[in-house]
């Protein structure tokens, strides 16, 4: 791996700088969860699953190709499945804090689930069991449990300008729509997903990954699929 020093080590990926100025993402086999139960929405690494990193990368490659076909920009340059690496253009994550870290994550929901259901269960009527690509924005901050942040606060703190904020929310809905339609063709239902967005040459683009690590999907019986099952259903055994 012809890289410079490691830039960052995350829960599911390591990040390296390349001599050409691009970034190399190395997908790891680490899984997140709580109390021994794997949960892609959790912030704590609880172990490893052999081959999980390669499957996440394969799924990301799968969906990024669909985004490109729909003229949705990403930072992808190339994928090396054998080494579980993805070369990407260097992007500035949206909404970095004053220390140049953190950033924003964009969650798109089609069903009340998880933290959304816990927050609003007393307000959800029987007739409101679906959500029309509702976008929520959270701050990447594990110590504070990735708190929600609203549009007015984002603008007041100068994290994003109004134009970039609207572009980001529109891209989030478009990405969710593409993933949702693809899953529907396989008799699967997208519950929610999160994506990260960044600026490349002043343009808002999809960054990081789109994989089972960043979405909840259920089958026809209402069972939420685990990482391995979802990957196998979408892309076969890898």
- Going residue by residue through the chain, which has 238 residues, state the pLDDT in tens, using 9 for 90 and above: 555 678 888 878 899 999 999 999 999 887 666 665 555 555 666 666 678 889 999 999 999 999 999 999 999 999 999 999 999 999 999 998 888 888 999 999 999 999 999 999 999 886 668 999 999 999 998 888 899 999 999 999 999 999 999 999 999 999 999 999 999 999 999 999 999 999 999 999 999 999 988 999 999 999 999 888 998 888 775 4
Two tokens, residue 68: 């490109």
- Give the other-Cβ count within 10 Å of 35's Cβ: 8
pLDDT at 63: 96
pLDDT at 139: 95
pLDDT at 2: 54
Distances 216 to 55, 207, 220, 222, 235 between C-alpha atoms, Å: 16, 19, 14, 11, 16
Judge whether 91 and 73 are in contact, CB under 8 Å.
no
Distances 5 to 8, 24, 78 between C-alpha atoms, Å: 9, 11, 20
Residues in the chain: 238
Select from 94, 174, 177, 203 the least CA-distant residue to 138: 94
Compute the distance between CA of residue 81 and CA of residue 84 in angstroms, rounded to an integer. 5
Compute the distance between CA of residue 231 and CA of residue 228 in angstroms, rounded to an integer. 5
Domains parsed from the chain with CATH numbers: 6-235 (3.30.470.20)
pTM of the complete model: 0.89
- Burial (CB count <10 Å: 0-12, 13-18, 19+), residue 121: exposed
The separation between CA 163 and the C-alpha centre of its own chain, rounded to angstroms, equals 22
pLDDT at 34: 65
Select from 191, 225, 195, 165 the least CA-distant residue to 64: 195
Compute the distance between CA of residue 210 and CA of residue 164 in angstroms, rounded to an integer. 21
pLDDT at 208: 94
Two tokens, residue 71: 């003229």
Compute the distance between CA of residue 192 and CA of residue 66 in angstroms, rounded to an integer. 18
pLDDT at 13: 87
């Amino acid at each position: 791996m012809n890289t410079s020093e490691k830039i960052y080590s995350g829960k599911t990926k390591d990040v390296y700088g390349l001599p050409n100025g691009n970034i190399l993402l190395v997908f790891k086999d680490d899984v997140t969860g709580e109390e021994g139960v794997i949960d892609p929405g959790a912030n704590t690494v609880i172990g490893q699953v052999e081959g999980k990193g390669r499957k996440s990368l394969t799924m990301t490659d799968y969906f990024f190709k669909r985004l490109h076909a729909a003229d949705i920009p990403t930072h992808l340059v190339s994928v090396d499945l054998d080494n579980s690496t993805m070369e990407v253009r260097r992007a500035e994550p949206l909404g970095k804090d004053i220390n140049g870290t953190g950033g924003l994550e964009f969650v798109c929901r089609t069903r009340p689930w998880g933290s959304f259901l816990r927050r609003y269960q007393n307000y959800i009527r029987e007739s409101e069991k679906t959500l029309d690509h509702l976008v929520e924005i959270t701050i990447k901050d594990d110590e504070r449990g990735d708190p929600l942040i609203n549009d007015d606060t984002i603008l007041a703190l100068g994290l994003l300008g109004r134009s970039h904020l609207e572009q980001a929310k529109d891209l989030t809905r478009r990405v969710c729509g593409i993933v949702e339609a693809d899953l529907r063709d396989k008799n699967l239902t997208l519950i929610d997903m999160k994506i990260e967005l960044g600026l490349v040459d002043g343009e808002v683009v999809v960054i990081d990954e789109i994989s089972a690590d960043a979405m909840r999907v259920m089958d026809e019986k209402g069972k939420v699929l685990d990482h391995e099952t979802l990957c196998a259903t979408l892309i076969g055994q890898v």
